[in-house]
Each structure stands twice: as structure tokens, then as C-alpha cells.
Amino acid sequence: MRRRWLATITMAAVLGLTACGGGGGPAAPSGQASGAGGDAKKQVEVFSWWTGPGEADGLKAMKEIFEKQNSGFSFFDAAVAGGSGDKAKALLQSKLQADTPPDTFQGHAGAELQGYIKAGDLEDLTFLYDELKLKDVFPAQLVEQISYQGKIYSVPVNIHRSNILWFNPSVLKEAGVAGAPKTIEEFVAALEKVKAKGKIPLSIGSEWTVTHLMESVLLGSLGTDGYNALFKPGANWASPEVTKALENFKTILSYAGDPQDDWQPAAAQVAEGKAAFNIMGDWAYGYFHNPPDGGLGKKSKTDFDWAPAPGTGGTYLWLSDSFTLPKGAKNRDGAIAWLKVAASKEGQDAFNPKKGSIPARKDADASLYTDYLGDALKDWSADKLAGSIQHGVAVNQPWLAAVNEAVGLFIGSKDVAALQKGLVDAAAANAQ
């Protein structure tokens, strides 16, 4: 029986989760912080899943700016550790259902937030975009892709890129591959050459990493316009073009090594010279590059290198962490003050170099972003945009669950027709 990548979280487990705050004690409710008389400050409960190296440091940097600019508020870190936010989202849902929302919470910008919007959990933030003139500093394509029925419900604090081909230069050289393949056809040829040398052509992790791989193959096969059209009204997931893209996916996946437990051990196979290629988001850069206490301590351009996933050059397959304004927040003014820091140039430039991502804003201080991040910043300014499936931009959460179900079945069956039918059904049931 195949292992499901999303485990069911029971309500008992949800209620047992504790927020990770500064002193390690129990989470305090949003509201009046302890203090003497009139010196007491109002707490702003900021809910996220940023607890790991880099991301926690970035959050701390924004916190310092926030408290410096807002002397009447104190920041309460309500971060919840675990996975890619699954535990945090489960606990958040229980808080929203109980009408005890945090003052602001992290979510992936785009379609992932539609469930909260339709449930009436979020305030429209268009007023903040107008006040701060954010439409002038965020790319127009980004604003378009995070709008829902003409309104905007989140403030992106960063940008990650999904469609990155990570590779080991030495393994490619040994296999006679001149460089990173630029097309699907070149990629398949390169995978075959690596296989002939006895190395793992393509490393993969748990099931969600296979959906992650599929979205890059869809983009590389269909092109930017064809890919983006899949998420618009009247999209045809049953087209011959999608069939061909899924055949490409099947071929590429046939070169994958044994699935690893998650993305990190799969990426490590590339950095350690056991595998040639891995398609993963740019958070892998921090894992490759950071010192051994939080990463692999590898050298870029020597132990690992990067390029757009085959066929996707000139397109930025993006995802973004963002913050929201829940309806009924106890400290609405404090939440808006936090959103202003998250949207600001100062806040984004303090957060992103530590997180290993780039700002959503177009006016970032380029000197702060070097090596891979320098390349990403240039591409973000110039490339076309397409939204990630796996990471909540292009599809809502029920749609993603159905896609993952179809991909999970495909891993065992390798039946392209069944996979395509699953994707057609997922779109029909969930597309807006």
C-alpha cells in the first residue's frame, strides 16, 4: 500500500499543539500584555509556521522593525512547528471555527486562501494596497494572480521559485552532459546518459515532491500561456497537449531513484554526487549552502548548480508567503501595523536574505541578494509569471488534495489516461 504524504490530523492532536513563543511557555492570547498600569502594550498575535533556521531569523528581523516603529504594540510569536505548515493550518482552522482568530496569519498567496475568503474569515485588504500604493511596487502579474473577484486578501512578504533544476556538475561531466538541459527532450537524453553511468538520474522525495515535479513538466511542455490557461474558466485538462505533457512526465519519472522520505534527503543525493538532477523549489539553495548546523555546507557552482527546469526558461513558477487580516481579530490596528511592515521595503529586505527568498517588491536593495538569490531577483523582474500548483497559488486546497490523490495513484499505476482523468475531475469539481 502506498504511503500517503498527508496524514490525517485528529482534533486531539490539533488541540495538543502549542505555539512556539519566545520563552517557551504556553501561548498567551492576543490582547493586553503584562505590564504596569498605563505602560502595558497590546499584543499582536502573529501566526506562522516559521520556526526553522533562516525563517525564524527573518521573522525576528521583521519583529524588531515592527516593535521599533510601533511602541504601543508588542509582538507575540505564535509560530507552530512541523512540516510545510500542515500542523499550523490544522490548528488555525480550529481557531477560526471557534471564532478566536489570531490577529494575522501566514498563508500562501493565491488560491490557497480562497477557502478562508469564501468562509468569510478574511478582510479585503484592497484599502491597504491603495494607501501604501502597493500596486506600484508589486509586479502587475503578481497582483493579478493574488486577486479574487477583484479584491486582494493578503500581503506577500516574499517570493519563492518552484521550477528550479538543481544538478551536480561533476556527475553531469562524468556522464558526458555538457550542461543543464534546456528542453524536455534534452532532459530525457541527459537522464539516459546518467543512467548509463550507474548514477541516479533524478532524485525524488515523498509524494508531494512528485506533484512538484509534475507542475514543472506541465509548464515546460505547455509553455507559460498554455499552463496558465489550465486554471481559467473553461480550461481543457483533457486536451491532447495535456496528454503529451503527462506522457513527458511519465518518461521523466521513469528515471527517478528510490523515493526519499522528504525533499531534503532527495536534494542531498545531488549535493553528495549520488544523483544528477532534482527539481525542487529554491528553498533548497539554503539547504545546500548553509553551514552544517542548518544545511549541507556545500559550495555553489562546484558541489551544486542550478537552472530553470527544462522548457521553463523565461518563466518564474512562483509561490509566496503572505499575511492576512482575519475578521474579528482582537487587535485589528496592531495587525494592520504588522501588515505595513510586511509590505515595506525595509521589512522585506530584512526578512528575505535570512529566509533565503527574494522580496515581492520591485524596489529591493539588490546588493543584499547574491549568488542564487541574485539570479532570482533578476529573473523575478524580467520573467513571465506562472503560479505553483503544489504550493497554493494556482489551485485551492480541495483542488490540490484531488491532484495529489491522482498523482499518488499514478506513482503506482503509471497510467497516464487515469492520471489525466483524475486531473480533469479535480478541475471540474473545484475550478471557479
Report how far residue 272's alpha carbon sits from residue 96's, in angstroms, rounded to the nearest whole number. 44
- Please return the burial class of 409, using the count of CB atoms within 10 Å of its CB with bins 0-12, 13-18 and 19+: middle
Q: Identify whether the C-beta of residue 368 lies closer than 8 Å to the C-beta of residue 351.
A: no
pLDDT computed for residue 381 by the predictor: 87
Examine the domain organization and report whether 150 and 165 are in the same domain: no
DSSP assignment of 112-150 = GGHHHHHTT-B---HHHHHHHTHHHHS-HHHHHHHEETT
Query: Is 375 a member of any domain?
Result: no
Segment holding 386, helix H or strand E = strand 384-387
Whether the model pTM is above 0.75: yes
Examine the domain organization and report whether 27 and 170 are in the same domain: no
Examine the domain organization and report whether 85 and 190 are in the same domain: no
Report how far residue 321's alpha carbon sits from residue 105's, in angstroms, rounded to the nearest whole number. 10
199-213 confidence digits (pLDDT tens): 999 999 999 999 999
**Owning domain of residue 102:** 16-158+321-362
pLDDT computed for residue 87 by the predictor: 83
Average pLDDT score over the chain: 90
pLDDT computed for residue 295 by the predictor: 86
pLDDT computed for residue 31 by the predictor: 52
Query: Is 20 a member of any domain?
Result: yes
Q: Identify whether the C-beta of residue 420 lies closer than 8 Å to the C-beta of residue 403.
A: no
Mean predicted confidence (pLDDT) in 162-184: 98
Mean predicted confidence (pLDDT) in 273-286: 95
Helix intervals (H) in 298-415:
332-343, 345-355, 372-382, 397-413
Does 289 or 213 have the greater pLDDT score?
213
Q: Does the pLDDT at position 163 exceed 50?
A: yes
Question: Predicted confidence band at 150 (pLDDT cuts at 50, 70, 90)?
Answer: very high
Q: What percent of the chain has pLDDT over 90?
A: 81
Examine the domain organization and report whether 186 and 45 are in the same domain: no
Task: Please compute Rg for the chain using Cα positions.
Answer: 22
Examine the domain organization and report whether 259 and 398 are in the same domain: yes
Report how far residue 189's alpha carbon sits from residue 348's, in angstroms, rounded to the nearest whole number. 41
Examine the domain organization and report whether 277 and 420 are in the same domain: yes
Examine the domain organization and report whether 122 and 238 are in the same domain: no
pLDDT computed for residue 316 by the predictor: 97
Query: Is 368 a member of any domain?
Result: no
Question: Predicted confidence band at 86 (pLDDT cuts at 50, 70, 90)?
Answer: confident
Query: Is 382 a member of any domain?
Result: no
Examine the domain organization and report whether 82 and 104 are in the same domain: yes
Query: Is 101 a member of any domain?
Result: yes
Q: What percent of the chain has pLDDT over 70?
A: 90
Q: Identify whether the C-beta of residue 212 lies closer than 8 Å to the C-beta of residue 162.
A: yes
Closest CA to 153 of 184, 187, 120: 120
Closest CA to 48 of 9, 11, 92: 92
Cell output for 188: 530525457
Does 52 or 391 have the greater pLDDT score?
391
pLDDT computed for residue 39 by the predictor: 56
Examine the domain organization and report whether 101 and 172 are in the same domain: no
Mean predicted confidence (pLDDT) in 141-150: 91
User: What is the rounded end-to-end Cα distance, in angstroms, of the chain?
Assistant: 33
The vertex-318 CA angle with 371 and 80, nearest 5°, equals 90
Quote the DSSP letter at residue 273: T
Q: Does the pLDDT at position 24 exceed 60?
A: no
Q: Does the pLDDT at position 296 exceed 70?
A: yes
Examine the domain organization and report whether 178 and 98 are in the same domain: no
Going from the C-alpha of 134 to that of each of 125, 131, 273, 284, 355, the distances in angstroms are 11, 8, 44, 29, 22
Cell output for 326: 482575519
Query: Is 378 a member of any domain?
Result: no
Paired sense of beta strands 155-156 and 321-323, if any: antiparallel
Mean predicted confidence (pLDDT) in 318-324: 95
Closest CA to 179 of 307, 282, 280: 307
Examine the domain organization and report whether 351 and 402 are in the same domain: no
Q: What is the CATH number of the domain that holds 402?
A: 3.40.190.10
Examine the domain organization and report whether 24 and 154 are in the same domain: yes
Query: Is 3 a member of any domain?
Result: no
pLDDT computed for residue 52 by the predictor: 80
Cell output for 349: 529586505
Does 1 or 198 have the greater pLDDT score?
198
345-387 confidence digits (pLDDT tens): 999 999 999 888 999 999 999 999 999 999 999 999 899 999 9
Quote the DSSP letter at residue 173: H
Q: Identify whether the C-beta of residue 390 lies closer than 8 Å to the C-beta of residue 212.
A: yes
Q: What is the tally of structural domains in the chain?
A: 2
Q: Identify whether the C-beta of residue 90 lies closer than 8 Å to the C-beta of residue 14.
A: yes
70 CB-near residues (< 8 Å, 6+ apart): 334, 337
Query: Is 88 a member of any domain?
Result: yes
